[in-house]
Amino acid sequence: MLNIITLLYRKNIDWLYQQYNSIPKEDDVHWIISKTDDYGELPDFFYNQKNIKIISVDYPDTLEYAHHKIYAAFDNVKEGYFIRLDDDTLFHNGAYQTYKNLTNNKFVGVFVGQQLYYNDNQRLSAHYPAPAYIDSGNVMCHTSILNHVKWTTDYQELCPDGNFYKKCADFFGEKNVCVVNTPISYYNYFINQTEG
């Protein structure tokens, strides 16, 4: 199972529909959308999709409480792999096949791919996870890690995703970190497209 986790911050439903369109409609793909009660309700469309789980937590919608959205999402993953996509990031159309190739070989660990800008220029190359050189959107990690590594509760920590995935990679060990030179996601797709 591939669990795709999106934490909602930006109230742009058009972006959410586009993110939905980027996610494969396969039986082994589970999209978890985690939001706060303050965010409000989503259109019925999202509640009516069989592969989507929407979670709402009763905390202010601020960075200080973001870890509650992450923990709620992690509590709802199904066995397999997870990837976190920010709510302005798109899943790359080749990433699902990369996931299938690795899981068909019974790989258990972390795999890291490239991350692109909206115009297909490379933002991040694929390499061993390290703070400031990794984004949640270019790492897929086996769910078993959630019993051993926790996301930070310190909202002021620099590079929380890089620190988290480095701990995951270190736990699994270098032989269980697979670096693939294929794209996994489009970083800040909508924001960069608007600005660039």
Provide the pLDDT confidence category of residue 196 given band limits of 50, 70 and 90. very low
Of residues 135, 138, 146, the one with CA closest to residue 168: 146
Cα distance between residue 120 and residue 115, in whole Å:
9
Cα 97 from chain centre: 16
Name the CATH superfamily, with its identifier, for domain 2-195.
Spore Coat Polysaccharide Biosynthesis Protein SpsA; Chain A (3.90.550.10)
Is the pLDDT assigned to residue 123 strictly greater than 90? Answer: yes
Helix residue spans in the chain (DSSP H): 13-22, 44-47, 66-74, 95-104, 160-172, 189-195
Looking up tokens 């997870």 gives 82
pLDDT at 194: 55
Q: Return the minimum-mean-pLDDT range out of 5-14, 72-81, 140-149, 186-195.
A: 186-195
pLDDT at 74: 97
Is the pLDDT assigned to residue 155 strictly greater than 50? Answer: yes
What is the mean pLDDT of the segment spanning 119-123? Answer: 92
What is the mean pLDDT of the segment spanning 136-162? Answer: 89
Q: What is the pTM of this model?
A: 0.93
Domain boundaries, the chain: 2-195
Cα distance between residue 135 and residue 138, in whole Å:
6
Share of the chain above pLDDT 70, in %: 96
Is the pLDDT assigned to residue 59 strictly greater than 60? Answer: yes
Maximum average pLDDT range among 21-25, 120-124, 150-154: 21-25
Provide the pLDDT confidence category of residue 157 given band limits of 50, 70 and 90. confident
Distances, alpha carbon 193 to alpha carbons 8, 63, 124, 134, 185, in Å: 19, 24, 17, 21, 14
Is the pLDDT assigned to residue 192 strictly greater than 70? Answer: no
Torsion angles phi and psi, residue 158, rounded to 5? -75, 140
